[in-house]
């Protein structure tokens, strides 16, 4: 069995909306309660993150954007640029701590302290671009983690697998021209779902042409369609790219019970995706995976699938 870190900080609950919102603190409360009841915590290595260095964040985001975000929180603004992206006075610090959690997971794996890590962080990150927060995301946790791996741990080639049901537009834009980071996103077709990007022909630019790969799924797609995409699209891409490290943007909102989209993945589908990622990591990355929570809004399926995902990360 593999050693898996569970990254969490109680302050993640301090980022909350003044109105009803699907991305709420009780997502993590529910995940933790379920893992506790399942007896899983005794088998995991707890990691409590600290605030990251400013330099870690500035590798991905512009200082002007960070100042804007900090000032908006200090002023008491209730939303950032987009109406759906709420703030409270804590949100800037908690967004930093969320990124810090993902970095802590990467540090634990890269240093050999653990084999893999699951980062139960929020706010999520994959919609956040260099200069813009959107889609419930303030800082791009996955992108910040990739840069930390490259700058602090000498990792050259990183593959990001983003299976959140929404396209990871922020992550895609950050690595658009970067051949050292392969970004694979599988999501509901953008003709039907936020944020409206992630078409097949979006493949990167310049030196990064060919290291962005999008697999949009039609509404109603489920386990079979995902299995085919992983086997026929992702697997050959990984074989060509040969990543040294796998970063997962693990959203669970493609589940059939999730209210935010129209895909039909089951619990077993998420087991397959997790198992597939572990197999890829074993083949190319010495088994190394940092998995970062993104979306997932229906509490029962979110908690079940998070448990399934972590159990698969624990498998050899
Ligand atoms: Zn999502």
- The pLDDT tens digits of the residues spanning 158-209 come to 999 999 999 999 999 999 999 999 999 999 999 999 999 999 999 999 999 9
Cα separations in angstroms, 73 against 66, 78, 80, 111, 125? 11, 8, 9, 34, 17
What pLDDT does residue 84 have? 84
52 C-alpha to ligand 1 centroid (Å): 25
1 C-alpha to ligand 1 centroid (Å): 30
Please list, in sequence order, all residues whose beta carbon lies within 8 angstroms of the beta carbon of residue 236, skipping any fewer than 6 positions away: none
Question: What residue spans define the domains of the chain?
Answer: 4-313
297 C-alpha to ligand 1 centroid (Å): 8
Block residue for tokens 């992983």? 230
Strand order of the β-sheet with 212-217 is 45-47, 4-7, 116-119, 289-293, 245-250, 158-162, 181-188, 212-217
Angstrom distance (rounded) from CA 114 to CA 117: 7
Strands 181-188 and 158-162: parallel
Q: Using one digit for the tens of pLDDT, what is the confidence trace for 253-280?
A: 999 999 999 999 999 999 999 999 999 9
169 C-alpha to ligand 1 centroid (Å): 11
164 C-alpha to ligand 1 centroid (Å): 5
From 9, 15, 126, 127, the catalytic residue: 127
Q: Above 90 in pLDDT, residue 82?
A: no
Point out which residues pair with 247 in neighbouring strands. 160, 290
Q: What is the pTM of this model?
A: 0.98
Q: Above 80 in pLDDT, residue 33?
A: yes
First to last CA, the chain: 6
76-85, 180-189, 307-316: segment of lowest average pLDDT = 76-85
| Fold annotation for 4-313 | 3.40.800
Question: Is 275:315 a contact under the CB 8 Å cutoff?
Answer: yes
pLDDT confidence band for 81 (50 / 70 / 90): confident
Would residue 127 show up in a list of annotated catalytic residues for this protein? yes
Point out which residues pair with 129 in neighbouring strands. 132
More confident residue, 83 or 6: 6
Question: Is 15:93 a contact under the CB 8 Å cutoff?
Answer: no
What pLDDT does residue 68 have? 97
3 C-alpha to ligand 1 centroid (Å): 28
The DSSP call for residue 265 is B
Give the whole-number percent of the chain exceeding pLDDT 70: 100
Q: Is the peptide bond before 113 cis (omega within 30 degrees of 0)?
A: no
């Amino acid at each position: 069995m593999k050693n898996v870190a569970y990254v969490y900080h109680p302050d993640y609950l301090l980022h909350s909306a003044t109105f009803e919102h699907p991305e709420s603190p009780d997502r993590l409360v529910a995940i933790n309660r379920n893992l506790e009841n399942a007896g899983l915590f005794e088998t995991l290595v707890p990691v409590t993150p600290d605030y990251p260095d400013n330099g870690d964040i500035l590798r991905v985001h512009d200082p002007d954007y960070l100042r804007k975000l900090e000032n908006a929180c200090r002023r008491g603004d209730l939303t950032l640029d987009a109406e759906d992206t709420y703030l409270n006075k804590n949100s800037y610090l908690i967004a930093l701590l969320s990124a810090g959690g993902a970095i802590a997971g990467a540090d634990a794996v890269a240093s050999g302290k653990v084999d893999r890590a699951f980062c139960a962080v929020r706010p999520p990150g994959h919609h956040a671009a260099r200069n813009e927060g959107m889609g419930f995301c303030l800082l791009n946790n996955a992108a910040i983690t990739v840069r930390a791996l490259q700058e602090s741990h000498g990792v050259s080639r990183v593959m990001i697998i983003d299976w959140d049901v929404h396209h990871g537009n922020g992550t895609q834009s950050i690595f658009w021209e970067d051949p050292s980071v392969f970004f694979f996103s599988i999501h509901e077709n953008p003709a039907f779902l936020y944020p409206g990007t992630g078409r097949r022909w979006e493949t990167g630019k310049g030196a990064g042409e060919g290291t962005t790969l999008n697999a949009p799924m039609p509404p109603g797609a489920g386990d079979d369609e995902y299995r085919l995409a992983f086997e026929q699209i992702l697997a050959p891409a990984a074989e060509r790219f040969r990543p040294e490290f796998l970063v997962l943007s693990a959203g669970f909102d493609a589940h059939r019970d999730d209210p935010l989209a129209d895909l039909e993945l089951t619990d077993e589908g998420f087991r397959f995706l997790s198992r597939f990622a572990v197999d890829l990591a074993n083949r190319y990355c010495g088994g190394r995976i940092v998995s970062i929570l993104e979306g997932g809004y229906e509490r029962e399926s979110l908690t079940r699938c998070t448990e399934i995902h972590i159990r698969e990360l624990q498998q050899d």
